[in-house]
Homo-oligomer: A and B are copies of this chain.
């Protein structure tokens, strides 16, 4: 029975509950009962509920990270890569319900304990975008004076639309618009033929 890692069982169960009911409506007892253990064992593996949630969130974002890394690593035209990156990012995050819950962290004082994981993800994204833009610049497809500032803009746009998209469930409705928005941004970076 304990040949299977209990810690990962806990995370698995926690993922189910947090995803379905959210952080507040999930109790540590729910999770413990679900894996037929006493509640105390959760505190053997995790400092507390917040740390456990962070772990779940981290794993959720990790699958997104992996997919995005793959896109960035591809040897396609960097303009295509950028568009794919944006579309995939939004598509995958659209199903990341625990991430959705933490969106409130930015706008209220809520979910402050999730700051580290969110910042880590943001840093990751900045890095990937920088890689894409640098590659594009080197190859001559992309023309930007200041890469860092361009990254800021893209981050601002993709972060900005998250709330209407995810918290108001408008993703499907706006899918087309998102696609065209991505194209638009990519176009504005395309090296002009003079």
Task: Number of A interface residues at 8 Å Cβ cutoff, please give it.
Answer: 29
A160/B149 contact (C-beta < 8 A), A185-B188, A194-B193 known = no
Q: Are B174 and A164 in contact (CB under 8 A)?
A: no
- List B contacts of A160 (CB < 8 A): 157, 160-164
Q: How many angstroms from the CA of A177 to the CA of B154 in the assembled complex?
A: 10
Of chain B, the residue at the smallest CB distance from A182 is: B153
Of chain B, the residue at the smallest CB distance from A146 is: B180
A149/B184 contact (C-beta < 8 A), A156-B161, A156-B174 known = no
A167 in the interface (beta carbon within 8 A): yes
* B-contact bits for A166-188, CB 8 A (1 contact / 0 none): 01100000101100110011011
Interface core residue of A107, A153, A167, A192 (most chain B CB under 10 Å): A153
Which 4 pairs from chain A and chain B are nearest by CB? A160-B160, A188-B188, A160-B161, A187-B188
Q: Measuring CB to CB, which residues of chain A are less than 8 angstroms from any residue of chain B? A: 106-107, 149-150, 152-153, 156-157, 159-164, 167-168, 174, 176-177, 180-181, 184-185, 187-189, 192-194
